[in-house]
Structure 1
């Protein structure tokens, strides 16, 4: 990634990040990106917008299948292969201080979780972290609305407001708009980071790569 020097102070950057709270790479990528942003000199000129994405939009709600069982069935791979994948991801996550307990992880449809993220406002970042922990560390079914109310309450959202939101169709159009924008941009995997719809990077990149991306984002002219 080539980096130009001498950022233009007048430039501001909107960085949109498509991710799914049932995606381990999104959990790692979020942590690494925000760590890079905290070190970035131009962070005050960066506006981060989280966008919804679903790796498996057709996943049934409430089946409470284990992630192991789900991947064996959906990908047609053996239990040892899945466990090898789990071990690789868990090892990388541990290097970033993130806990993955795939033995307890429950496969889930994340549409309601994404609707809830759109409600969260300034608590969005904290809510996303809580959802990642619930799914990957605590064995919580994040497509269970009662569990979503508990998770949201722990990060400061009002339980009654959350319950009413989830029992309605609120936020569904916003989630669908994010998913449609991803299709239009050709996003085929997450996490996916794009600055002003001009400069992009995908995957749970090392922190130094995200710093390069942020520098490129500041330098890229806005049309």
Structure 2
């Protein structure tokens, strides 16, 4: 993600730990994008894998309520929780549909994001996977389905499929998660600015914008 430069401000490096299965990661992505647009500060964003449910099977047979109950929520907690998530998503222009959402193991999806980075399309792939999962009810855990999503971005479907079948980027995914543990990251989304400042959660755009401005000021730069 970059913005049109309005001055000689150098891009702020932002590393984002995120999971495709995390609704707040998608909501936070939109809020962060709003902050970048509002601040006029260019950024260089890189996404890193964080699996919230690494033990989930590729084909989870159950509803959203079933999944959340497995995660420790009571049946009475699920309805208000989902209503809050859907409402927060709507506020940033997203349309979550939990009636059609398909839960799956996200390791392969994270591998596809790492593969897309080699094609210089990582951010596009992150967006495509999140939309496919939360808004379209697509399966984002199987090799063939993931390769289809890559092709929809104009990328080489066969190369994407080969990378997934060979687990070409599984080590990269594991390295991302090992780094998260080293940093003490226990939940996502988690943003690390310039390798120095960590911000947890889907914060308001103003919070992200304030961090960006502070970093620019520390560099002695100004936004026109």
Query: TM-score, normalized by length of structure 1?
Result: 0.88
Q: Distance in 1 between matches of 2:167 and 2:184?
A: 27
Q: Distance in 2 between matches of 1:219 and 1:198?
A: 15
2:27 equivalent in structure 1: 28
2:62 equivalent in structure 1: 65
Shift of 1:76: 4.4
User: Given the alignment of the two structures, is residue 109 of structure 1 paired with residue 105 of structure 2, yes or no?
Assistant: yes
1:88 equivalent in structure 2: 84
1:170 equivalent in structure 2: 168
2:3 equivalent in structure 1: none
- The answer to whether the 8 A contact 1:28-1:93 is kept is yes
2:131 equivalent in structure 1: 133
The number of residue pairs the alignment matches comes to: 210
Q: Distance in 2 between matches of 1:53 and 1:38?
A: 26
Shift of 1:10: 7.5
Q: What secondary structure does 1:75 align onto?
A: coil
Q: Distance in 2 between matches of 1:134 and 1:63?
A: 17
Residue segments in structure 1 that go unaligned for 5+ positions in a row: 1-8
Q: Please point out which of 183, 186, 207 is paired with 1:185.
A: 183
Q: Distance in 1 between matches of 2:61 and 2:39?
A: 41
27-36 or 210-219: which moved more?
Answer: 210-219
- The answer to whether the 8 A contact 1:64-1:141 is kept is no
Root-mean-square deviation (Å): 1.7
Q: Distance in 1 between matches of 2:203 and 2:108?
A: 28
Q: What secondary structure does 2:172 align onto?
A: helix
